[in-house]
Amino acid sequence: MVERIVRIILSIAGAGLGYSLGFFLMRLDFIRQVIPQKELFLYSLVGLIALVFGILTFLLAPWLIRVTLQMVRFFEGVLQRTPVQDLIGGALGLIIGLVIANLLGAPLARIPWLGPYIPIIASLLLGYLGLSVGIKKKEEFLGFFSLLRIGGKQAIRPEGGNYKILDTNVIIDGRIADIYRSGFLEGTLVVPRFVLEELQHIADSADLLRRNKGRRGLDILNKMRKEQGIKIEVRDFEEIEGGEVDSKLVKAAKLLGAPIVTNDFNLNKVAELEGVKVLNINELANAVKPLYLPGEEISSVDVIRDGKEPGQGIAYLDDGTMIVIEGGKKFIGQSISVVVTSVLQTSAGRMIFAKPKGSKKDTPSSRHYREVNFIG
């Protein structure tokens, strides 16, 4: 029903457009010389043009409605994914650009021939320039306007905790999206422009492995930008020049007063030396791994290969924790239950030492006490 009403309205609008166009054509000198200037004939011709435009608009109405809805959905999606700071900065820049265009275009509008078109051209150029500058300089815009508060109070800048800076490795890793969804991270995830350029450079690499990593990182970033609950902002950091990506990340973190989210061990150490807070997702993963105590049983682990020492077998938990099983070599290819004998925590992760359940082999601690008693 609504579609039919819209088609009728569009048809009437098309007929009105054809009617106006017909009268405009009838006033042209070369057409008046060709067509007989009889009032009945002229009105009939104008009516025919209006009828043709009305029929064409009626036929094209479904396509026009579909294209219009697609454009509305597209712009709505773009606006929803755009950070609020970009919208405010772009709007302020656009307003300033249009005001300047009107001030310049008004006196120039009296120029013959070109005068009427100068305000239109100036509005398009200065409006786009203001929009672009407003988005890039949004922090300065917002800081300037916040200084104009009544009483001259100092502007309150957002806390550094509202921003988290992502490095290249953590984007390629992909776990950052799940961590954000779980609520362990909050605020806006900032992706510096130089990190985005490094991702693109990796994606264009001749090496197949590096190319796949780069493309994976770009795909993950695009998926995160499209999600409603994840706030991502790409910043240029034009004031940071030269140096490696890691040093630029440290400078950007100092500039924003925000921590760096990474899984790079070397970047972690450099940032700590520079006094920059680091959120290492590997440390988070190790912290949430289940803690097994000596004597606790782990049921059904798959022994997949032998270890470095004779008779050892190696198995892995679902979270990637390695289990070294004493005497487990003979169980390679089988699922067995093991008893934890000790746990070793290293910077690279957690390692569990165990023995097959039901084994009579002594644990290191009991063997140690027996040796002491024997010596005593």
Residue 313: predicted pLDDT: 92
pLDDT in tens, 174-223: 888 888 888 888 888 999 989 988 999 999 988 888 899 899 989 988 88
pTM, 2 dp = 0.46
pLDDT in tens, 12-48: 888 888 888 877 777 776 666 667 666 666 777 778 8
Could you give the C-alpha distances from 58 to 4, 9, 44, 63, in angstroms and in order? 10, 9, 21, 10
More confident: 364 or 168: 168
- Label residue 161 by pLDDT band (50, 70, 90): very low
Q: Which domains does the chain have, with CATH numbers?
A: 2-130 (no CATH), 160-287 (3.40.50.1010), 292-375 (2.40.50.140)
User: Would the CA dihedral through 349, 286, 295, 326 be positive or negative?
Assistant: negative
The pLDDT mean for the chain works out to 80
pLDDT in tens, 279-318: 888 888 777 777 788 888 888 889 999 888 888 999 988 7
CA distance 116 to 329: 89
**Cα-atom radius of gyration of the chain, to the nearest Å?**
35
CA distance 61 to 67: 10
- Annotate 210-244 with b (16+ C-beta within 10 A) or e (fewer): eeebbbbbbebbeebbeeeebbbbebebeebeeee
